Amino acid sequence: MLHDCPVGDSRGQTVVFIPRDRYLGVMKKLADDGFTMCVDLTAVDYLSHPGRSLPEGVQAERFEVVANLLSMQRRERLRVRVQVPENDPTLESLFDLHPGTEAMEREVFDMFGISFSGHPDLTRILMPEDWDGHPLRKDFAQGRIPVQFKGAAS
């Protein structure tokens, strides 16, 4: 356990599973512990893998936000995984704690539809503003954009 959160291991890296309602508080404690850099923040849609293995006490949800933290002092990495339910895909923003997450949270919002409360500018970053849906969701219909080659018969 780390700050009363289940801990696991993934290929030699420590992974902490933080409950959604304690996310920001535990992340602040981890920053106090020396994990002052958020190297990456992304999400995963487990729609087609609901039975994945999780530590005891962690309820699997469709979405998972994954953050990778770094402690330069300890020369250590830490992966954070947070379960986010499909019926309420929201999580608190890390922007005030780790300002570098601003664009990463926007990308997760754009691609997966997970909102970050307290984010200063939660707008699309990759897709056009009028785009319908979130392309990295497993239930997003794959489309086809026809390519017109120069000189080809129409």
Residue 154 pLDDT: 58
Is 136 among the domain residues?
no
pLDDT, tens digit, 9 for 90 and up, residues 70-112 = 999 999 999 999 999 999 999 999 999 999 999 999 999 999 9
User: Is 51 or 154 the better-scoring residue by pLDDT?
Assistant: 51
Residue 150 pLDDT: 76
Is 76 among the domain residues?
yes
pLDDT, tens digit, 9 for 90 and up, residues 16-32 = 999 999 999 999 999 99
Is 130 among the domain residues?
no
Residue 113 pLDDT: 97
* Count of domains forming the chain: 1
Residue 98 to residue 52: CA distance in whole angstroms: 29
Burial 70-90 (b: 16+ CB within 10 A, else e): bbeeeeeebbbbbbbeeeebe
pLDDT at 149 over 80: no
Is 43 among the domain residues?
yes
Residue 145 pLDDT: 63
Residue 15 to residue 17: CA distance in whole angstroms: 7
Tell me the β-bridge partners of 68. Answer: 40, 79
Structural domain range at position 34: 7-48+57-117
Query: What letter would DSSP give residue 59?
Result: P
Is 14 among the domain residues?
yes
CATH of the domain at 39: 3.30.460.80
Joined tokens for residue 109: 């919002």
Is 22 among the domain residues?
yes
Segment 61-72 mean pLDDT: 98
Is 153 among the domain residues?
no
Instruction: Give backbone dihedrals phi and psi of 32, rounded to 5 degrees, phi first.
Output: -65, -30
Average pLDDT score over the chain: 94
Is 122 among the domain residues?
no
